Amino acid sequence: MNKPIRRVSVFCLMLVLALMIRVNYVQGVEASALNKNTNNARGTIEAYSYPRGDIIAGGKAVTKDLLVNGNKYKYRRAYVAGPEYAPVTGYSSQVFGSNLLENVENGILSGSDSTLFFHNTLDMLTGKQKQGGDVVTTIDPKVQAAAWNQFKDSGKKGAAVALDPTTGAILGLVSAPSYDPTSIAGADDASSAAWTRLQKDPSNPMLNRALRQTYPPGSTFKLVTAAAALETGKITDINAPTDSPDPYPLPDTANAKLVNEAGDNCLNVSMNDALRVSCNTVFGKLGDEIGNARMAEEADRFGFNNAGLLIPVGVAKSVFDTGINRPQNAQSSIGQFDTRATPLQMAMVVSAIVNNGTLMKPYLVSQTRTAGLSVIDQAKPSQLSQATTPQAAQQLQTMMENVVQNGTGHNAQIPGVTVGGKTGTAQNGVDNKNNPYAWFVSYAKDSNGKEIAVAVVVEDSNAARNEISGSGLAAPIAKSMMQAYLGK
């Protein structure tokens, strides 16, 4: 071989080697980054080339896949009762990605999770079409429908959460107003237009108010303050008179005072009566006597200040401030100042109380399984904390049941069922210039020991300001959820 030919051969060999090295580098090192590149549509196209698994509630699928056989995508996601279940399912869109269960359980739903490898291999060998696994939720459709229909029919804005206190299973999760995830699932102009409308909607229908929005909890937070008062010995007898002025001068201030909506009914009343008629003065003074550090510790036990709660979707952190001064702590102890809570958080408070002080970790997924119904993972209830002592919890139950039987929570009474509750009307806006938030938190238990804990917040309403109350607006929604669960 002459010298020029040998040089060309060596050069060509080097080109081949360089090409092989580059191909292996792209496939081995850059593969993950290329798959995640937002400009790479191949992953999305492949994901919609076969049906996703279903999200299940009460034994029935609340999702489905439509065969569209488009130029790019073979299937498109759709939703049954979309607006009702949107706070649970989230959306899966060919253009806008996914959120909530559609996102965090994507590995199971898309069939790409490593636990499905054996199942997918069998399908490939037998010639079956690939299909994602199913996600079975803890949602009780009767509870979900009860809350959703109340919000939808009334046009109210807000949220509702129901828990099984003994396990932490989430029985209902509603946010209103809502949206239909089907409308944004495709890659067509209609889906893009729907997305734009939703983003511009001032009512923010895509906000998950049950999990991702925090509100001042108002008087519902007095349950936490009452627990701290019982645990620290500030209150030893719930029916004994307290040393509580009316109005209550806030400590370390010149003229600031806490006043009551309950008129003249709060002077030196017992804690039982103070909860029944919701006395700010009694609980503000107790919060000051307990102190900010101990109040924050109590709030933490009930789930506040937990930035890492996953159910498995992420939940906004509920807040009780530390390091604040005495008047701020007194206001925080009645659920005002900077105290903020999600509806889920306040359902957790009630859940711990009715469960004799034990707070179970909330969870939304009971089971994941293959398309062939083989169980992949089964949820195991776990304790999140010991929120309060059994003795304090039982005294709180006595007081909450008094609220429903003889106090502000009378609208939640259910014949033949033990119901405990607490109303709340929380300030909204600077100097409370906006319509206040109406809260109701409650539990119900029947003679067979079946229990449910509920929290409802109505964010705004068409009612006159002086007609807005937890009892009038939120309690009927909670009652319908409790009745649906207990079959009453």
Closest CA to 75 of 159, 131, 113: 131
CB 54 within 8 A of CB 89: no
Q: Are strands 134-137 and 55-57 parallel, antiparallel or unpaired?
A: parallel
Could you please report the per-residue DSSP string of 78-94? EETTHHHHHHHH--EET
Q: By C-alpha distance, which of 111, 54, 51, 92 is closest to 185?
A: 92
Known catalytic residue: 93? Answer: no
Q: Which residue is catalytic, options 219, 244, 270, 442? A: 219
- Paired tokens of 421: 């509750």
Nearest CA among 274, 268, 452 for reference residue 350: 452
Q: Which residues contact 396 (CB under 8 A, 6 or more apart)?
A: 223, 226, 227, 230, 353, 388
Are 67 and 52 spatial neighbours (Cβ–Cβ below 8 Å)? no
Return the ∠ at Cα 245 (arms to 241 and 246), rounded to 5°: 110
DSSP H or E stretch at residue 137: strand 134-137
Question: How far is it, in rounded angstroms, from Cα 477 to Cα 423?
Answer: 13
Instruction: List active site positions.
Output: 219
